[in-house]
Amino acid sequence: MLERFKPAARRAAERIGRVLADAGVDPNALTLVGLILNILVAVVLAGGYLRLGGLLLLAAGAFDTLDGALARVSGRTTRFGAFLDSTVDRYAEAFLLGGLLLEATRRQDTAVELLSFAVIVGSLMVSYCRARAEGLGLDCEVGIAPRPERVLILGLGLILGWEVIALAVLAALTHVTAVQRVLHVRALTRGVENPRRPASQSEFPP
């Protein structure tokens, strides 16, 4: 969905990254600042300010790209930095959707409660499928709803007052993406496993 805009967005983020690099900003510190911003957005959403929360969510989503850009332009990309970024992203999503869940609970809106829960599970499974595949040495960056698209859909949905529609779309897309990744890994591993000695659960711990 966003593929045509990604090169321009990447260049813009790297220009800002060079300024931050000159200022001596640490990429991991920027990652943690991004988490704080997402927690603040979650508080705004939990308070019922959904349109404001949507605007802030898009701003926080744009900010989330800066840590990676800073790491690239400063030559400070590390495996721990990539691990920290992915971990923080999962917490950020959980906080944001938790904020919506709390707000829906206050209004006793069962539809939003259930959809928020479904999106939380779907988002975590999308990330888990990729992480689990990479743990097996497989590339798994496939699917129709990676994180930037999810942030955009939710942010615009909240701004336009289409909370239920946005959550329903995300619930569907996240689980479809998880299934796409499962099928992708199945295709990559088909015919590779030793048929006489199938992999057991103990060989691939969770």
> Which amino acids are annotated catalytic?
89
Going from the C-alpha of 165 to that of each of 33, 112, 115, 168, the distances in angstroms are 30, 10, 10, 5
Buried b (16+ CB within 10 A) or exposed e, 127-157: bebbebbeeeeeebeebebbbbbbbbbbbeb
Give the Cβ contact number of residue 92 at 10 Å.
Answer: 25
- Token pair for 75: 């030559």
Cβ 17 vs Cβ 72: under 8 Å: yes
The sign one gets for the Cα dihedral 190, 193, 194, 197 is negative
3-state helix, strand, coil in the chain (%, to 5): 80, 0, 20
> Please, what's the b/e burial string for 181-196 (b: 16 or more CB within 10 A of its CB; e: otherwise)?
beebbeeeeeeeeeee
The answer for 48, left when phi > 0, alpha when psi is -120 to 50, beta otherwise, is left
